[in-house]
Chain A
Amino acid sequence: MKKNEKAVITIIGQDHPGILAGAATQVAEVNGNVLSVSQAVMEGIFTMTMIIDIAGMTVPLDSLEEKVAAAVPDMKVKVMHENIFNAMHTI
């Protein structure tokens, strides 16, 4: 991965303890660096987005997605390069 590249992890599902910790542990294990986290729980539904620096990451994004998904079962997990969000939402 190149310098300053970022990816976005989103986790959506039923709230329960340990979701953020589970995801963050997986990111750390592959040498990703968490830059910011925002989360909300509305009517029991947990929504989290985590922006991570992937410049030094040791595995590709799809492998990280599998790891995080395994760490927080029953949650919808998606890991995507930030470019897709920038392309869609900025002019």
Chain B
Amino acid sequence: MLNIQDIIETVQMIQEENLDIRTITMGISLIDCADSDVDQSCRKVYDKITRRAEHLVATGETLEKKYGIPIVNKRISVTPISILAGVSGGDPVKYAKALDRAAAATGVNFIGGFSALVHRGFSAGDRELIEAIPEALAETEIVCSSVNVGSTKTGINMDAVRLMGEKVRKAAELTQDRQCIGDAKLVVFCNAVEDNPFMAGAFHGIGNADCCLSAGVSGPGVVRAVLADMPDDAPLDQVAEEIKKTAFKITRVGQLVGREAADLLGVPFGIVDLSLAPTPAIGDSVAHILEEIGLEKTGAHGTTCALAMLNDAVKKGGLMASSSVGGLSGAFIPVTEDEGMISAARAGTLSIEKLEAMTAVCSVGLDMIVIPGDTTAEVISAIIADEAAIGMINSKTTAVRVIPAIGLKEGEELDFGGLLGSGPVMKVRPQSPAKMIHRGGRIPAPIQSLKN
């Protein structure tokens, strides 16, 4: 039996505290589209995506109306395109354009999977795809790209790390007249997961079924509001308990909507990703949760500890709420997409070094960070290497999505608009890591890899 307090609480979460379903993402395998002719392969890719996802957007809209909760994004993830490029040869940019057209035809917000998995080495199609990333991102609108350069099991492919530093820089240069937007759609991973519904890092891993539907929930505003109602001297174990309960409720909504969307579309349900994903909207910030826990400003000493507790409590609450948890599941800390992070970065309390420490205890990595336009490819590679090392040693996913703002210097601002937000150019260390980066080769798998 429903009671009035519960009803009002739910309505308040949606109306006042920005609770939403961040995304429903349809994963589509393209393995059966591989063809030795690249143009034929692209045609099959277009046909399969538009057939499978034909009703995705309409289904999302139906559920938005039924439950009165916004589903902010409808997205598609596909098999890493390097696999198809390896079969067909030819210019991988053609695939990116086919994905872009198919995504536009279905009406989704983003499509992810212009990707390569090269954590141990390059196979056919991988190098070609990586070389094509800057051009693919410059010539498409909603295609997202990711490359996995390392894992706990394999170590880090430092040749790929070097290459990706160059590609990140190049992608910024090719899109410098559009706020360097190319790099907002490019993620470099260590320990990438096969079922992530969030962009820009979503791809449909080869271990998945032919087609499935996953959901990503959000709701930092809800967690902050719950903490704001607690007394200032409540001990941290009680704070963690409240976060857990709130995460449970949020995740239940994701599970409900995701499963029903899958049923309506006639595909298996994939996973719920429990992540707390901020937006630039007022009151939808992960940084403000940390500040509500008791920090004057995010980035202050204590930030890493508060984030570790938050991340863990979110998982514990969410785990019981869903029959199938997956993806990245934790707290996201994308700087330009989080009002509180932007403010802390502007104030100088939040530095890249602090963000790096935070990535050791939360779900992803250095995300949506604007760096000076004159940052060299080697420095970007070194940033990627540092993050990959944290992921490799801690057996967790880490990622780098940095945007070298061509023409801008430290302290100036880059504004993407929309969900991607805006942010100040942050300081990076200019000292050169070039010698190490140009050594190339591989960082051997760590001792943690020997679990069998």
Contacts and interface: CB of A to CB of B under 8 A. Distances in A.
A51 interface: yes
B256 A78 contact: no
B6 A89 contact: yes
B10 A84 contact: yes
SS class, residues of chain B in contact with chain A: helix
B67 A84 contact: yes
A88 B67 contact: no
A78 B14 contact: yes
Contacts of A67: none
A88 B11 contact: no
Interface string B1-38: 01010111111001100000000000000000000000
Interface residues of B, number: 21
A89 B68 contact: no
B10 A60 contact: no
Given A84-B10, A89-B10, A38 B4 contact: yes
A89 B253 contact: no
A51 B4 CA distance: 10
Contacts of A83: 67, 256
Nearest to B257: A84
Contacts of B252: 87-88
Contacts of B111: none
A78 B6 CA distance: 14
Interface in A7-46: 8, 10, 12, 38, 40
A80 B249 contact: no
B439 interface: no
B255 interface: yes
B57 to A, nearest CB: 16
Contact of A10 (B11, B69, B255, B256): B11
B435 interface: no
Contacts of A10: 7-8, 11
Nearest to B68: A80
A85 B7 contact: yes
Contact of A61 (B2, B11, B65, B255): B65
A62 to B, nearest CB: 4
A63 B249 CA distance: 27
Contacts of A69: none
B67 A76 contact: no
A47 to B, nearest CB: 6
A65 to B, nearest CB: 7
Contacts of A85: 2, 6-7, 10
B67 A8 contact: no
Contacts of A78: 11, 14-15, 68
Contacts of A89: 2, 6, 9-10, 249
Nearest to B254: A87
Interface string A56-82: 000011100100000000001011111
Given A8-B2, A47-B4, A49-B8, A88 B66 contact: no
A61 B4 contact: no
Contacts of A65: 68
B253 A62 contact: no
Contacts of A8: 2, 7
A85 B9 CA distance: 9
19 contacts: A10-B7, A40-B4, A49-B2, A49-B4, A49-B7, A61-B65, A65-B68, A78-B15, A78-B68, A81-B66, A81-B68, A83-B256, A85-B2, A87-B256, A88-B10, A88-B249, A88-B253, A89-B2, A89-B6
Given A10-B8, A81-B66, 8 more contacts: A8-B7, A10-B11, A12-B8, A40-B4, A78-B68, A82-B2, A88-B6, A88-B253
Interface of A: 8, 10, 12, 38, 40, 47, 49, 51, 60-62, 65, 76, 78-89, 91
